Chains A and B, each alone.
Chain A
Amino acid sequence: QKEVEQDPGPLSVPEGAIVSLNCTYSNSAFQYFMWYRQYSRKGPELLMYTYSSGNKEDGRFTAQVDKSSKYISLFIRDSQPSDSATYLCAMSHISGYSTLTFGKGTMLLVSP
């Protein structure tokens, strides 16, 4: 079992839809959770960063962490064509030198 699982998609939705992107993980040592957005031929850019279980909202984006289920989600409200990109979840350990472990990314396509 991979440490971080993420459905690669593509996920196609019409403009204005609510999008739900998800990752599951197996390592309970992961305590920090991030979502990155990557446009084609660009570097990943940080969207959301969470530490504790629960919800964190930033504009149209909401990140949700359920540590008991080892499940994290990113919700995008009122999706726009400009949201079309690959979304990568990433996570890191609480102690020691730690780097990010990424999911494989979900490609999102928002059609006008």
Chain B
Amino acid sequence: DTAVSQTPKYLVTQMGNDKSIKCEQNLGHDTMYWYKQDSKKFLKIMFSYNNKELIINETVPNRFSPKSPDKAHLNLHINSLELGDSAVYFCASSHAPEGPGTEAFFGQGTRLTVV
């Protein structure tokens, strides 16, 4: 009964390719997120969706496009992959985007390697 699940777990691809990562949560949460963890283990927010609406978009290249078909799913599509995109991408969800309940539950991560 995985609460937040991401696929694939590992992704190795060549520069210039387009790839997608999928995320699903079965916690009944309204808010979902994408975080990026770089090689130095620093975890940083990329996007936040509340009830399928984009509410936070940090400074992320527009090659990255999130899509939320419903509030249980948040996918991340990346165009024209670059070497610097190599990182671990975490999907997360929480009850609400503000106040009590902002604690987020994370998926297992997708380790993306661009060669």
Contact = CB atoms under 8 A, between A and B. Distances in A.
Contacts of A86: 41
B107 A104 contact: no
Nearest to A100: B104
B50 interface: yes
B97 interface: yes
A44 B99 contact: no
A98 B97 contact: yes
A45 interface: yes
Interface string A79-92: 00000001010001
B38 to A, nearest CB: 10
A97 B53 CA distance: 12
Chain A, interface residues (CB within 8 Å), range: 20 to 34
Interface in A1-56: 8, 32, 34, 36, 41-46, 49, 51
Contacts of B1: none
A59 B43 CA distance: 27
A8 B41 CA distance: 10
A68 interface: no
Contact of A43 (B56, B102, B106): B106
Contacts of B90: 43-44
A44 B103 contact: no
Contact of B98 (A41, A45, A97, A105): A97
Interface string B3-14: 010000000000
A32 B107 contact: no
A46 B106 CA distance: 9
Interface in A59-112: 86, 88, 92-102, 104-105
Contact of B103 (A8, A49, A94): A49
Contacts of B104: 46, 100
B100 A51 contact: yes
Nearest to A92: B102
Minimum-distance CB pairs A-B, first 10:
A43-B106, A99-B45, A102-B43, A97-B97, A92-B102, A97-B55, A43-B108, A44-B106, A49-B103, A104-B42
Interface of B: 4, 33, 40-45, 48, 50, 55-56, 90, 92, 97-100, 102-109, 111
